[in-house]
A and B are shown apart, each in its own frame.
Chain A
């Protein structure tokens, strides 16, 4: 490949002698005689705007939130500058009535719902990815576009659609009523079923696209080799296919799990205040109790990072064929 010849110090992050010589020492980068100091100066100009932007509008706000998590709440929700652990205690369940399990239940429910959503999405997305990858080239573009359209049509609209379909006046609810699955006047929402349906359909495109990207490039010769060596379908899938699609699975998992953890809209509309997740708890506190809000955000970020770490760790456990 052309890449190999073109490897300069910049591409690797450290060229020959990156450690040994000072930044002023001459070096060759992609055919240009220059110094590390000059390259870095040029790099700083390039990344300056973007890095500053992310620092200013992402890192600093997040740092402020973390700081606010240790402030006190004064009367009616005003923020008082002082150091306290109270807010983290409140997240864990301590309040005016002593300890209560509510918040832990919400946290657990959030993790379970996000996990279940991820599993269901992957289970549905995987066959979809294989199906699309097996279509003739011209057809694939169409199917991918079909996936993109609902994603670009805002989530709020898709949820509005579910409230139409699941309301007790719709034919779908009528069918469920006839079958005795729900009471004669009940709708299919609010409830757990509606929330899960909303969640899975929200994130399905996020799960299919990265999976499709890896399945499309799948090396089928490995599968043939496995077959030739008389391995059964399970072993073939486990050892010849799974390691190849693992990066896609992890990406799809992260793209589903992370936003699912912070979901507020689906539970708000399809759960109607009867099915609360951390996202709803956070939404309720915006503008009401900033320190408590910040502590909740802190908890959610921690949960997210743990979730990603587990996904990556699981990914490493799969042996390469």
Chain B
């Protein structure tokens, strides 16, 4: 009987106020922030997590966009989300903190005029590795992953289509946004060759790859910079670098879904996240780079100075954005990626 009472208590508690359902990468927010938002506004926040952009889009298409109110989505999938009518236009009047945005992140190519998106964090891909496997001072190159003779131990590939293919394209000296069928196939074959090697541990999301390196099960993994920098603060055995050839760089955005049950709450939470102080705290926790000018000044000095989080202008020149290439090209990437996974 007491168990039933407990069941009810939990159920009732869950129904108390309409929560904001957020869908984002795992380990991508300071866990104290949702609670603080609830204390301030009375609106609870429920975070659900995904490990890759494909997983997120698939979940929305399979179950409808009404499951979530607020999405974190990378620049490369924004056009797709808009075309599929999964997201709604933002009501800028409810997000006064949008003024905090850093000018270079305003009006991005994928969303002219910030109609649908406001940035959340940004960062490049790179390689996290165990220091004992790679002599200090040695250059970190994509060869560590794609060239068998340069191998330093078991490695994990990133389980995200365009990100992983982008890394391979850069390793080959090709365009990460190639629309050429045969070139895409060549890029895919490079990933495939790496996957088929004995020392490949398969595909994982960034968090999974990072944790395998921390555990010592893998010597290196392809991950986004923030996850890696966070890992470095946990353990002195690992290090991170953006390979010398350059890397894909993503801007992750905040979007409100088209069938959101609580759009007002979603807007309020976006505004809260873009607050200068909250933005800085969140950046300090996740170790990702903030796109908010006002937060930049408040971020811990050591993080602001960390080139792994905020790359130098020189390094920035080698970072490239992944673009949406239209549904037909997307289909080619899809098919090549499926082949990579299945062979």
Give chain A's interface residues, CB within 8 Å of chain B: 73-78, 95-97, 100, 102-103, 105-106, 167-169, 183, 185-187, 190, 271-274, 276, 280-281, 284, 286-289
Cβ of B230 < 8 Å from any Cβ of A? no
24 A-B interface contacts by CB (under 8 A) = A76-B330, A96-B181, A96-B331, A97-B181, A97-B185, A102-B339, A102-B343, A105-B343, A167-B217, A169-B217, A185-B219, A187-B154, A187-B201, A187-B217, A190-B201, A190-B202, A272-B202, A272-B203, A280-B342, A284-B338, A287-B58, A287-B59, A287-B61, A287-B63
Assess the A185–B154 pair: CB atoms within 8 A: yes
Residues of B within 8 Å of A103, CB to CB, are 342
For B, the interface residue count at a CB cutoff of 8 angstroms equals 41
Residues of A within 8 Å of B201, CB to CB, are 187, 190, 272
Give chain B's interface residues, CB within 8 Å of chain A: 54, 57-63, 80, 83-84, 153-154, 159, 181, 185, 195-196, 198-204, 215-217, 219, 327-328, 330-332, 334-335, 338-339, 341-343
Residues of B within 8 Å of A102, CB to CB, are 338-339, 342-343
The 4 closest A-B pairs by CB, nearest first: A272-B202, A287-B62, A287-B58, A75-B327
Residues of A within 8 Å of B181, CB to CB, are 96-97
Residues of B within 8 Å of A187, CB to CB, are 154, 201, 217
Question: How far is A186 from B218 in the complex, measured between Cα atoms in Å?
Answer: 9
Assess the B342–A96 pair: CB atoms within 8 A: no
Q: How far is the CB of B52 from chain A (nearest CB, A)?
A: 11
Assess the A76–B202 pair: CB atoms within 8 A: no
Q: How far is the CB of B64 from chain A (nearest CB, A)?
A: 10
Q: How far is the CB of B60 from chain A (nearest CB, A)?
A: 7
Question: How far is A76 from B63 in the complex, measured between Cα atoms in Å?
Answer: 16
Q: How many residue pairs at the A-B interface have CB separations less than 8 Å?
A: 87
Cβ contact of B84, chosen from A76, A281, A286, A289, cutoff 8 A: A76
Secondary structure call for the A interface? loop
Secondary structure call for the B interface? helix
Assess the A273–B203 pair: CB atoms within 8 A: yes
Cβ contact of B154, chosen from A168, A276, A288, cutoff 8 A: A168
Residues of A within 8 Å of B338, CB to CB, are 102, 281, 284
Residues of A within 8 Å of B328, CB to CB, are 75
For the complex with contacts A102-B338, A105-B342, A167-B217, 8 further pairs of A-B residues with Cβ separation under 8 Å are A75-B327, A76-B80, A186-B199, A273-B202, A276-B341, A286-B62, A287-B62, A288-B58
Assess the A284–B341 pair: CB atoms within 8 A: yes
Q: How far is the CB of B86 from chain A (nearest CB, A)?
A: 10
Assess the A287–B60 pair: CB atoms within 8 A: yes
Cβ contact of A273, chosen from B332, B334, B341, cutoff 8 A: B341
Cβ contact of B200, chosen from A167, A274, A284, cutoff 8 A: A274
Residues of A within 8 Å of B327, CB to CB, are 74-76
Question: How far is A183 from B200 in the complex, measured between Cα atoms in Å?
Answer: 13
Residues of B within 8 Å of A105, CB to CB, are 342-343
Question: How far is A286 from B60 in the complex, measured between Cα atoms in Å?
Answer: 10
Q: How far is the CB of A174 from chain B (nearest CB, A)?
A: 13
- Which residue of the partner chain B has the closest CB to A268? B202
Q: Given A96-B335, A287-B58, A288-B61, does the pair A169, B342 have CB atoms closer than 8 Å? A: no
- Which residue of the partner chain B has the closest CB to A269? B202
Question: How far is A271 from B204 in the complex, measured between Cα atoms in Å?
Answer: 12
Residues of B within 8 Å of A100, CB to CB, are 339
Question: How far is A309 from B146 in the complex, measured between Cα atoms in Å?
Answer: 46
- Which residue of the partner chain B has the closest CB to A275? B202
Q: Given A96-B331, A185-B153, does the pair A273, B195 have CB atoms closer than 8 Å? A: yes
Assess the B58–A75 pair: CB atoms within 8 A: no
Residues of A within 8 Å of B332, CB to CB, are 96
Assess the B215–A169 pair: CB atoms within 8 A: yes
Q: Given A95-B335, A100-B339, A102-B339, does the pair A274, B195 have CB atoms closer than 8 Å? A: yes
Residues of B within 8 Å of A280, CB to CB, are 341-342
- Interface-central residue, A103, A284, A289, by most chain B CB under 10 Å: A284
Cβ contact of A183, chosen from B54, B198, B341, cutoff 8 A: B198
Question: How far is A185 from B133 in the complex, measured between Cα atoms in Å?
Answer: 12
Assess the A271–B217 pair: CB atoms within 8 A: no
Q: How far is the CB of B211 from chain A (nearest CB, A)?
A: 12
Question: How far is A31 from B331 in the complex, measured between Cα atoms in Å?
Answer: 67
- Which residue of the partner chain A has the closest CB to B153? A185
Residues of B within 8 Å of A281, CB to CB, are 338, 342
- Which residue of the partner chain A has the closest CB to B202? A272
Q: How far is the CB of A173 from chain B (nearest CB, A)?
A: 10
Question: How far is A80 from B89 in the complex, measured between Cα atoms in Å?
Answer: 25
Q: How far is the CB of B322 from chain A (nearest CB, A)?
A: 16
- Which residue of the partner chain A has the closest CB to B343? A102
Q: How far is the CB of B82 from chain A (nearest CB, A)?
A: 10
Assess the A186–B62 pair: CB atoms within 8 A: no
Residues of B within 8 Å of A106, CB to CB, are 342
Question: How far is A96 from B179 in the complex, measured between Cα atoms in Å?
Answer: 13
Assess the B202–A276 pair: CB atoms within 8 A: no
